[in-house]
A and B are shown apart, each in its own frame.
Chain A
């Protein structure tokens, strides 16, 4: 997957003024001269990494924040999350109680200290104050300790829960046969969505329940001194803890709704002005585009200012409520004949209590902002949406990956297979029929967008045919359990991913439990062995995030070695030499084919036509149809796409020395 924050580097960046050629091989591969996504025709969503949101419109159905019924959906999402919190309920309630204890200690500290001071003014004997003095000390230390333990307990509980959430989200995604379109953006959003669960608990639910509990205690305590003062306090607390948070929720939601379209438009402007800089300059349109974007930025700024004025009014009212409640409590208490010392206690306590209740305003804002992320993550957590992964005995996966040696039991047959990614769109595969007896080696070639990668996706079960049937070993492909199919057919698929792990771990993914000899053989065939031996850490060399510490060529070789190690009876190789220079590509292809055990079938997908002479058959796809098939020698001698392309590639690789046949 792409490492850039934006999925698509500048179009055609590899050959653009101001950019040195082959500067980042990985990026060049992504911009993919012939990568499946480059054609922008129909591409299986799985492979759409470089394509500019070719499948998923920006702010499309995946963004529930902009649609009606958000509040209801966010509520449902919270319930889903809370259901997941059940195992940690004890810890969470403990954290909530500790949070309440922290706040209460702060409130009691101020109240007791006031009582102490005002009592001292009456010059009583010292022993009448001893209890209060001890209490003030205990509360002061206790508040800090409570806060410390509350934070530890809360974070511990929530992080445990996040562990569950991550595992559950991953299990849900893993159980899906076909993944939804995932750009780099969508992926990092998924990660931050998972984090919203943490915020919901730690920054909304725990502090809110603590504030509510302390408010109740404060009213109860005040009632012991003066019921009428307690009533005034209750009113103040209701305004601060209920009315204002509600108002804040409404305002936050409204501003989000007003800001979102303008912010989205501005983001689009930024993309247009940067990625389209050359087009704008060439057509003299830079000035006007810049004016439009600057104007929009100005409009956004004006809107933000206006919304902020409304938003901060809530905070202002909060301050007002705290002070006025305290003043009213003093008035009422004096009128009710409460002793002077206790009037002071009530007043100072009221100020603290309302201040604590005002924390609910912040919690309400936070909750509103979390809504969209929570809704997205809840979909992945919901039991009904995600069937629990079928229990499989441990260790079954490795055995499934063991190759079954050729017994002719892996013939592949495609019968009138049609794939349409969208209703009404041109089919990516159009009534393709193909017969591939076990042990044969076949290449599928054709222009980009011809359906080559779709064919691979159909064979691995990632894409279901709209029409027609695929059988492997005489059995309908759809009847294979998902875990069994990779043991039958697989290999190097488009956009093979290199994990942030050691070389060994990346390889063993192909066949867990493979021995050193097998690792060496596969790596040698992919032409990576020398590199591995050159590394100080050898097999334990960690390849960086998303394989970033490898060059594009090395990454491709690693993925190829992994596929060769897996060695399923039907080996699929989708552009195995992409990103390698022609000489290296020829050598690697030859050694990879040589390393495949006899009796195993090979299905090679390639845009390069060199090195296909030894294969049993070449199938040419164009616009989803088989247009030519035969051996390389036959195809080269007959007019058609294959011969044109062959001459063209020959010419290109020899630097246009041969312009005519």
Chain B
């Protein structure tokens, strides 16, 4: 919570915003000058109006300052919004680039969800910070200083009072803020429990309903919501009280200035114009500080998003050493030499040595979590060996041009990700210039024809986010179509029929059978039907690989 109001990393990380941020500061200085100018011209105007005369130059000056202030309000808002837009675009690009740079292994799991939210809508919280809080923060520095300088010119004793009382606002603000925060923290557990109760109950409604308790729970919801109200009011009372104290401090300070001014005016010791200037300007000195303080809370969400974005970048692993130039030939032999892969908490593969001869089809079996997918991840370059090395056609993958190597791989993952694009573009992934005829061929090979026929716009149908609209079996066939289109010498399949109903399974199996024909293939399998395609069967357990060949002579059950 206690975070500095401006994150200096911003200047370093988003250089494009520097100029606009400097402009914003400059505009804050100009704004302060205009506050002073407006009060000065208005005081002059009213002082002459006291005698029933119209001071035309003062009126013109007043109108001009007002116009300038209006322009400034616009400029400040526009520049602040520009900073927000620039920073958001830059951070979005950075975040997404970090995903590309660090690779899929880094982004897997929970982090994917967090990143997607942050890069998507999470950063929009910066709008409120940049357009609401930051300009006010600048003004809270420039305006009091300008006011102080102007009043010092007119009447140094008043300026002295202001200079002495002004620091009371931040001091009291901090003291009361601590007080309020401590009170909130004491209540925090209770508040979050009561506040979360409603969400908890709504989320658990199906379960409540299953036990016939849904309606009986309405009263509980009301009671807990009422408890939340009481607890919230308790903390709000403290927050409002501190705002009241701050306001009274400001009021008293203004009174301290105003009383001697009035007495001197009455005694003829002060010109009316100067007195009016005091009246108009003094409150302005205290106002921006309080305004910035009251907006601080709203700025927190933006600062948190900013911090999250910076931390993602800082937390990424060291970029992979410069990609090699060597291009292995996928039609060569693939060798694992004493490969060990250790993750933070587990070792996925231990000292694996293994040779895959060209054209060989190898099935990989073993309990889940044993390291089967890691084996494929190594070949894809998503995972790097902790020790040992993998060579393809004699080229160490660590020194290979990964992009060129991956072009010789066709990969069918357990659950392929489908993109929010047309079905054709989903199949053409990575090869956007593929002619329609080739796509149609892949569709046919992957037994996707009937699916395409059933879609409203065939191959041109745009899929929803994450392939919405297709069933698991259909998605899996899209992944197979991708693999067919790739026409690569090496095929990697990761349990392509897991999670499919038996009808879809049969279709996918047939397509898989066609895909692996005549290619080097590694199939992670748990269905016996897949094993019939294999020349050899490897079993992985606890990270160790053993051979389970030859294929049993008895027909695998099907």
Contacts and interface: CB of A to CB of B under 8 A. Distances in A.
11 contacts: A6-B117, A40-B475, A114-B46, A170-B201, A281-B100, A283-B429, A297-B92, A305-B81, A343-B50, A641-B502, A659-B531
A4 interface: yes
A638 interface: no
A278 B202 contact: no
Interface string B422-451: 000000011110000000000000000000
Contact of A323 (B63, B197, B406, B468): B63
Given A623-B501, A644-B558, 17 more contacts: A17-B376, A17-B380, A20-B343, A39-B471, A166-B222, A174-B218, A271-B466, A277-B103, A280-B429, A284-B430, A344-B49, A447-B500, A487-B212, A509-B208, A509-B213, A651-B528, A659-B537
A449 B501 contact: yes
B518 interface: no
Interface string A274-312: 111111111111111110011001101110110011011
Contact of B468 (A46, A52, A341, A462): A52
A163 interface: yes
Contacts of B374: 17
B485 to A, nearest CB: 10
A164 B228 CA distance: 12
Nearest to A155: B236
B204 interface: yes
Contacts of B131: 308
Interface stretch (B105-113, B151-159, B321-329, B354-362): B105-113
Interface in A485-523: 485-487, 490-491, 493, 495-500, 509-510, 512
B50 A300 contact: no
Nearest to B34: A319
Given A270-B116, A340-B51, A174 B205 contact: yes
Nearest to B45: A330
Interface residues of A, number: 189
Contacts of B112: 9-10, 274-275, 277
A644 B62 CA distance: 91
Interface stretch (A70-78, A136-144, A593-601): A136-144
A162 B227 CA distance: 12
A610 interface: no
Interface stretch (B66-74, B160-168, B508-516): B66-74
Interface string A1-32: 10011101111111111111111100100000
Contacts of A289: 419
Main secondary structure of the interface of A (DSSP, over half): helix
Interface size range on B against A: 35 or more
Nearest to B244: A148
Contacts of A275: 112-113, 116, 417, 466
B258 interface: yes
Given A170-B201, A300-B89, A18 B106 contact: yes
A635 B67 CA distance: 89
A340 B52 CA distance: 5
A160 B229 contact: yes
A305 to B, nearest CB: 5
A324 B431 CA distance: 63
B262 A117 contact: yes
A462 B207 CA distance: 11
Interface in B400-432: 403, 406-407, 409, 411, 413-420, 429-432
B86 A281 contact: no
B420 A268 contact: yes
Interface stretch (B142-150, B178-186, B265-273): B265-273
B545 to A, nearest CB: 13
Nearest to A487: B212
B78 A11 contact: no
Contact of B46 (A4, A123, A281, A347): A347
A660 interface: yes
A401 interface: yes
A17 B382 contact: yes
A301 B89 contact: yes
Interface stretch (B21-29, B118-126, B302-310, B391-399): B118-126
Contacts of B248: 141, 144
